Amino acid sequence: MDRISRVVVNIIFFIQILLVFLLFVEDRIKLPAVVQVAGRMHPLMLHIPIGAIILVLMLILLQKHFNPADSRRVITVGLLLSSLSASLAALFGFFLSLQGDYGGDALMRHKISGVVLSWMCYFLVLLQQSSLKRSVFLGLGGISLAALIFAGHTGSILTHGENFLLEPMAGPPAILTAENASVYDYAIAPILEKKCYTCHNEAKAKGKLVMTDIARFKAGGEHGKEWVEGKPEESRIIKSFYLPLKSDEHMPPDGKPQLTPIEIAALKAWVKSGADFTRKLEQFPKDDSLKVMVAALISKAPVEETERIYAFESVSEDVIEKMNTPFVSVSAIYQNSPALQAEFYVRKAFDVKSLEALTVIKNQLVSLSLSKMPVDNKGISAVSGFKNLEVLNLNFTNISGEGLKQLESLKNLKLLSLSGTTVSAKDLGPILKLPNLSELYLWSTKVNESQRDSLTKLYPTMAIALSQFRDESVLTLSRPMLVNEGVIRPDEDVLFKHPMPGVSIRYTLDGSNPDSLNGTVYDKPFHFKETTTVRAIGCKDGWYCSDAVEVICFIKGITPDHVELLTHPDPSYPGEGVQSLTDGRKGVADVLKEPSWLGFRKIPFSVGFSFDAKVPTIKNIVISFARNVGAYSVPPKEIEVWAGNEKDKLRLIRKVEPPQPTGYGPVKVDALSIPLEAVTYKYYKIVATQVPALPKWHSGKGERGWVFIDEMFIYE
């Protein structure tokens, strides 16, 4: 023990000398990769001396209650651990400080306090081995504890900003309202505070960009100003949100909370309006896009995502990363989707070779924006090879009628925007014959209204717009929301709402998509007797209608007198047993560990239920399940319903084979409906069998699927 102690003390002494030396030569140090990794372990290492120092001081104060020899050995080990961990934490912190843009004064205070704490712990080890008075030792221990608190406080300034510790005692901050605050202070600054300030403040300014001070924020960082007033597509701060998550230039960095779509839209609208720091909300016109966007942002209305399913293979993240440059953004249209979107920036930097380079992802590319790029008829030839392209934006390009002929191969194209080009009505022939084209934008072209009307008669299913096109000056409404949460009672009003005043909501119940003309107008609440799928959109003059939102209204059914699980769920997903099927509490499809879910994989799901005195006539049974294809949770391969008036003599009355997914889709709680022919039995059994092997397009192809169930609804 003594030999080990001496070795540890010598190591600690060496680190103390090294720390002092590094303080004087830090400007000349270049860290190798291995040392950089050690520096990034500082947040992990710093917690060890905190606990160890406090533990040692407690043991010293209570020493008389323990055996003297044993307590001395324990204190010695504790002091060695405290000193060694404090020394390593200070050393690793020094290495970390050389890797980021931290404020000079705050960082220097933290480094010096860390070195002082390291030396104090080392002196405690030496004093404990000497014969000095206990009071001297305790005094130095108190100083060490004070140094620990000060080092922690200066560290919190680097990560959380000035006055983080005492901020709660400063009293409530001034309440900002639309009347007394600028749009920036009221809506934009809170976004930056939540997502950006931790890395861009006076104490820690990555890229030398400080956002917490308006003057320094306007000045920009090491790359210059962060935005171009009125031009969000050319602004560095906006483009950084769309870079691949693994890119060093993507902001916020991977692992940090990311901006939501509505937060990004608000920042884009703010830059579009001129990035004014003083203009108040009331000074904007009533229907101004930024004003309404701020109202939607403050309402914190959730925005649901409706995602398309694609069956083609995905490409690796490395391939996507290589495609991205400061002038080209390539990304998945949503998480886990193989479908990709690409957008080009900065007209002067455009090179047709970068467009041709996208042929590597020609099968995955479904959306392409070349708006305002100098693309001509020759350069557009590369686009003809993108067979799965659905959206193509050629606004203000140099394409003409000859170039449009090359787009005849795009059989999947649904939306084409040619606004600001020289195309005429006679040039449109080749693309009007595309089988899936449903939206065509021709603002500021040679096509006049009379020609547009003639084309509309020939192609009645195609929307041909002359007066408006999709650019960032016109915003799309957010989707309507279902107010009801969880399972809805049959006598309960089903309520939809939209956060913006004056929005008209239209809905359908047959699975079709509503639009501004089709669908039932939602003018009052309605009731459902059974679980029903509703699709709804919001429309308002001066705005694009929202995308359709699909929601399932789960309606409470009749409750059996007895319910029993006939097979046991996987031990990893036990839920709350049979109660999970009837408690009316809905699960969340991306949190399968939640107690609402019963998970089955190795054996089928099987449940029995029965009725006593009053036996109902059942017309439909609905099973609520998790559709999370990426987590192997897919619909059952088949569902069987058995019934009879004797528990041991049941017969098969219904067998259903639900359709299986053909690609990755949205993660959601879904419903399986099992219609019955008005049967009246006392006993029932439902068996749901898992998919034995996931399909070839799935990352887990060949493996057995999961079935996650959280509720069962029975309807008369």
Task: State the pLDDT at residue 169.
Answer: 55
CA distances 25 to 15, 95, 103, 380, Å, are 15, 13, 18, 57
Radius of gyration in angstroms for the set of CA atoms belonging to the chain, rounded to a whole number = 33
Whether the CB-CB separation of 482 and 495 falls below 8 Å is answered with yes
pLDDT tens digits, 370-393: 988 898 888 888 898 899 999 999
* Stretch among 31-35, 323-327, 388-392, 554-558 having the lowest mean pLDDT: 31-35
* Stretch among 9-23, 247-261, 646-660 having the lowest mean pLDDT: 247-261
Whole-number Å distance between alpha carbons of 570 and 525: 41
Task: State the pLDDT at residue 470.
Answer: 43
pLDDT band at 605 (very low <50, low <70, confident <90, very high): very high
What number is the average pLDDT over the span 90-113? Answer: 70
Highest mean pLDDT among 95-99, 138-142, 697-701, 707-711: 707-711
pLDDT tens digits, 611-632: 998 899 999 999 999 998 888 9
Q: Is the pLDDT of residue 102 over 60?
A: no
**How many other C-beta atoms can be found within 10 angstroms of the C-beta atom of residue 699?**
12
Whole-number Å distance between alpha carbons of 68 and 56: 15
* Stretch among 245-254, 433-442, 673-682 having the lowest mean pLDDT: 245-254
Task: State the pLDDT at residue 646.
Answer: 92
Structure tokens at 710: 């959280």
Q: Residue type at 361?
A: I
Whether the CB-CB separation of 626 and 710 falls below 8 Å is answered with yes
Which carries the bigger pLDDT value, residue 181 or residue 612? 612
What number is the average pLDDT over the span 408-415? Answer: 90
Q: Is the pLDDT of residue 195 over 90?
A: no
Would residue 542 be called left, alpha or beta, if left means φ above 0 and alpha means ψ between -120 and 50 degrees?
A: left
Nearest to 290 by CA among 316, 260, 307, 266: 266
pLDDT band at 155 (very low <50, low <70, confident <90, very high): confident
List residues bridging with 342 in a β-sheet.
330, 368
pLDDT tens digits, 301-319: 343 444 567 878 888 888 8
Whole-number Å distance between alpha carbons of 660 and 629: 10
- What angle, rounded to 10 degrees, do the helices at 68-97 and 104-128 form? 160
What does pLDDT average to over the chain? 82
Strands of 345-395 (E only): list them.
365-369, 391-393
pLDDT band at 299 (very low <50, low <70, confident <90, very high): very low
pLDDT band at 692 (very low <50, low <70, confident <90, very high): very high
Task: State the pLDDT at residue 459.
Answer: 84
Whether the CB-CB separation of 94 and 21 falls below 8 Å is answered with no
End-to-end CA distance of the chain: 78
**The model's pTM:** 0.42
Task: State the pLDDT at residue 27.
Answer: 65
Nearest to 326 by CA among 230, 234, 195, 222: 234
Whole-number Å distance between alpha carbons of 175 and 221: 30
Whether the CB-CB separation of 272 and 290 falls below 8 Å is answered with yes
pLDDT tens digits, 538-562: 888 767 788 888 889 999 999 999 9
Task: State the pLDDT at residue 471.
Answer: 44
Q: Is the pLDDT of residue 395 over 50?
A: yes
pLDDT tens digits, 244-255: 666 778 788 866
Whether the CB-CB separation of 594 and 670 falls below 8 Å is answered with no
Alpha carbon 279 to chain centroid distance? 31
Task: State the pLDDT at residue 60.
Answer: 75
Whether the CB-CB separation of 507 and 479 falls below 8 Å is answered with no
Residues comprising the chain, all counted: 716
Q: Is the pLDDT of residue 269 over 60?
A: yes
Whether the CB-CB separation of 713 and 621 falls below 8 Å is answered with yes
Task: State the pLDDT at residue 698.
Answer: 87
Helix (H, G, I), strand (E, B) or coil at 465: strand
Highest mean pLDDT among 191-195, 235-239, 443-447, 706-710: 706-710
Residue labelled with tokens 């409706």: 306
Structure tokens at 486: 């969880």
What number is the average pLDDT over the span 397-405? Answer: 87
**How many other C-beta atoms can be found within 10 angstroms of the C-beta atom of residue 189?**
21
Which carries the bigger pLDDT value, residue 78 or residue 529? 529
Task: State the pLDDT at residue 501.
Answer: 81
Whole-number Å distance between alpha carbons of 650 and 197: 65
Which carries the bigger pLDDT value, residue 443 or residue 548? 548
Give 187-194's long-range contacts (Cβ < 8 A, gap of 24+).
Answer: 187/266, 187/294, 187/297, 187/298, 188/266, 188/267, 188/270, 191/259, 191/263, 191/266, 191/267, 191/297, 194/257
pLDDT band at 682 (very low <50, low <70, confident <90, very high): very high
What number is the average pLDDT over the span 362-369? Answer: 90
Whether the CB-CB separation of 393 and 472 falls below 8 Å is answered with no
**What contacts 8, CB < 8 A, 6 or more positions away?**
80, 84
